[in-house]
Amino acid sequence: MDILAIESSCDDTAVAIVRDGREVLASEVFSQTKRHEIFGGVVPEVASRCHLEAIAGLAKVTLEESGLKKENLSAVAVTYAPGLIGSLLVGVSFAKGISLALDLPLIAVHHLKSHVAANYISNKNLKPPFICLIASGGHTNIVEVKSYTEMRTIGKTRDDAAGETFDKAARCMGVAYPGGVHIDKLAQKGDEDAFEFPIPNVKDSAYDFSFSGLKTSVINKIHTLKQKNIDIPLEDICASLRKSIVSYMVNNLTEAAKQLHYKKIAIAGGVSANSLLRRELRRICDKSGWELFLPDLKFCSDNAAMVGSQGYYEFTCGGNTSGLDLNAYAGMSLN
Ligand code: KG4
Ligand code: ZN
């Protein structure tokens, strides 16, 4: 089954063609980073307009690259929630047009479920059940992946997400957007014990997160140094911040795995590209005899291949198709 997949939930326009949920025939991402860089973050209206300009041409190129003809496609899958509403609407409208014109089933895909599915592409032998940390610009969730289509959130952030914390700290330090990537690089040369940032325990849930105190503490530290005219030790701050965020996520994830008896662990979302996170989990999983599944770096951040993978399972395991009245939603929980 060859699925044309579309992703436009934030600031990347992406189209892919995926065979049977696991084999990527073509995957293209048109990044808008350059358009948002000067603002230090994504400007929603600019993002929607960029999607509108890029999506049809990108679909044409992706189809050509796959070697398929449009008549060969079996279905069209699209991210419909959660995300920036103007951005989502562009992808959903385009997918509906394709579905109508080619008479193809339309499959609506939840953005976070698709991040998890990136693991099916990179790890051909991975099957649910497993436990997964989804960490992106807007979300930090620990989920039980019970089947290809059913997930249960057991921990989530009460305020900011891990990626957002990286991005805001980066902006304050004058580090380029998106901050997580650059902080990860700068951290490699820094002393991770140079600064201590607070890691809170969230009341009433062992696996929930709160990043707002950590974010404020880093920002305050940077402001204090600036006020005193002291050069900001960028690499040390980046290394200390990365260590705090990563150990927080690793602790909650491994604790959840222990308590709920999971021996298969995966990570997903933009922040799953973090080199320390990957290294730390590898070390712990090797020591504990747990299997660790990582998405390839190119499938960590937003892409459409993961939408094609999840779309395949929504269709084949859940029979989940949508009508032409499908809408997009800015917010939607996983379960
Ligand atoms: O999943 P994603 O591409 O988009 C959303 O759905 O939000 O995630 C983007 C987030 C950004 O906050 C970015 O700074 C972060 O992922 N990110 C990283 C790394 N690469 C991207 N954070 C930490 N380390 C990285 N290497
Ligand atoms: Zn995402």
- List, as one string, the DSSP characters of 283-317: HHHHHHT-EEE---GGGTSS-SHHHHHHHHHHHHT
Q: Is 103 exposed, middle or buried (0-12, 13-18, 19+ CB in 10 A)?
A: exposed
How does pLDDT run across 251-291, given as a tens digit for each residue?
999 999 999 999 999 999 999 999 999 999 999 999 999 99
pLDDT at position 178, please?
Answer: 86
**Nearest residue by C-alpha to atom 14 in ligand 1:** 180
Asked if residue 200 has pLDDT above 90, the reply is: no
pLDDT at position 277, please?
Answer: 98
The per-residue b/e assignment along 311-326, b for 16 or more CB within 10 angstroms, e otherwise, is: bbbbbeeeebbbeeeb
Task: Compute the mean pLDDT over every residue in the chain, rounded to the nearest whole number.
Answer: 96
Q: List pocket residues of ligand 1, CB cut-off 6 Å.
A: 10, 136-138, 163, 166-167, 178-181, 184, 269-271, 273-274, 301-302
pLDDT at position 155, please?
Answer: 96
Domain positions in the chain: 2-116+299-318, 127-294
Asked if residue 17 has pLDDT above 90, the reply is: yes
Best probe residue, ligand 1, of 177, 246, 301, 303 (max atoms within 8 Å of C-beta):
301
Give the residue from 120, 15, 20, 93 showing the smallest Cα distance to 58.
15
Distance 195 CA to ligand 1 centre (A): 23
Lowest mean pLDDT among 27-36, 56-65, 106-115: 27-36
pLDDT at position 83, please?
Answer: 97
**Nearest residue by C-alpha to atom 2 in ligand 1:** 270
CA distance 303 to 6: 8
Lowest mean pLDDT among 49-58, 169-178, 286-295: 169-178
Bridge pairing between strands 75-81 and 2-7 = parallel
Q: State the average pLDDT over residues 133-152.
A: 97
CA distance 229 to 100: 61
Contact 305, 117 (CB under 8 A): no
Contact 9, 302 (CB under 8 A): yes
CATH topology of domain 127-294: Nucleotidyltransferase; domain 5 (3.30.420)
CA distance 132 to 334: 13
Distance 196 CA to ligand 1 centre (A): 23
**Nearest residue by C-alpha to atom 20 in ligand 1:** 181
Asked if residue 40 has pLDDT above 90, the reply is: no
2-116+299-318 and 127-294: same fold?
Answer: yes
Q: State the average pLDDT over residues 171-185.
A: 93
> Bridge-partner residues for 75, per DSSP?
3
Q: State the average pLDDT over residues 146-175.
A: 96
Contact 62, 23 (CB under 8 A): no
Asked if residue 39 has pLDDT above 90, the reply is: no
How does pLDDT run across 80-134, given as a tens digit for each residue?
999 999 999 999 999 999 999 999 999 999 999 999 999 999 999 999 999 999 9
Domain at 2-116+299-318: CATH architecture: 2-Layer Sandwich (3.30)
pLDDT at position 114, please?
Answer: 98
CA 163 → CA 29, 138, 157, 170, 184, distances in Å? 20, 7, 11, 11, 11
Q: State the average pLDDT over residues 169-188.
A: 94
